Amino acid sequence: MSEQSHTAVEVGQHPVGIDELLERVREGYERIEPLDAHAAARTGEALLVDIRYAALRERDGLIPGALVVERNELEWRLDPQGSHRLPEATGHDLRVVVICNEGYASSLAADSLHRLGLRRATDLVGGFQAWKRAGLPVTPPSER
């Protein structure tokens, strides 16, 4: 095998850095701002899914009503056809708003959900930190 066959790069393409990858995946859907996400969740139009790791949730608190799903389990839990899906994974038309800490990992996660057919999946611009800065509800770590 040639050295090039061991790379993930297609013939004629250059390696894609993370900034370019983020730009590409974000072109595939419309992201949502914190106030709009809050309103959509309150009316039952969207399911908020917090993928932050435990240390961040313990440090900063939780968004009331958000479903906590570890990032490494996200696709397994939200695939409506999956054998390990959560009850909230009701169909491919479910509007899922993925929330990470600052809005980067959530973009990649939303893209992954799109690949599973969850065409309305999106992510929160600025992540949990933007939600908190907007003055939206947060359950402090000490109140859990």
Q: What is the structure's pLDDT at 13?
A: 77
Burial 106-132 (b: 16+ CB within 10 A, else e): bbbbbbbbbebebebbbbbbbbbbbbb
Of 5-9, 72-76, 136-140, where does mean pLDDT reach its minimum?
5-9
120 Cβ contact partners less than 8 Å away, ≥ 6 residues apart:
93, 94, 95, 96
Q: What is the structure's pLDDT at 1?
A: 43
Question: Which residue shows structure tokens 């790379």?
Answer: 7
Q: What is the structure's pLDDT at 4?
A: 42
Q: Average per-residue pLDDT in the chain?
A: 91
Ramachandran angles phi, psi of 71, nearest 5°: -55, -40
Residue 144's pLDDT band (boundaries 50, 70, 90)?
Answer: low
Q: Percent of the chain beyond pLDDT 70?
A: 90
90 and 115 Cβ atoms separated by less than 8 Å: no
Q: What is the structure's pLDDT at 17?
A: 94
109 and 100 Cβ atoms separated by less than 8 Å: yes
- Note the pLDDT tens digit of each residue in 27-86: 999 999 999 999 999 999 999 999 999 999 999 999 999 999 999 999 999 999 999 999
101 and 77 Cβ atoms separated by less than 8 Å: no
What is the Cβ-side half-sphere exposure of residue 70, based on CA atoms within 13 angstroms? 5
99 and 18 Cβ atoms separated by less than 8 Å: no
User: What pTM was estimated for this model as a whole?
Assistant: 0.88
Encoded tokens for 115:
């690949």
Of 2-6, 46-50, 102-106, where does mean pLDDT reach its minimum?
2-6
Residue 2's pLDDT band (boundaries 50, 70, 90)?
Answer: very low
Running DSSP on this structure, what letter comes out for residue 65?
T
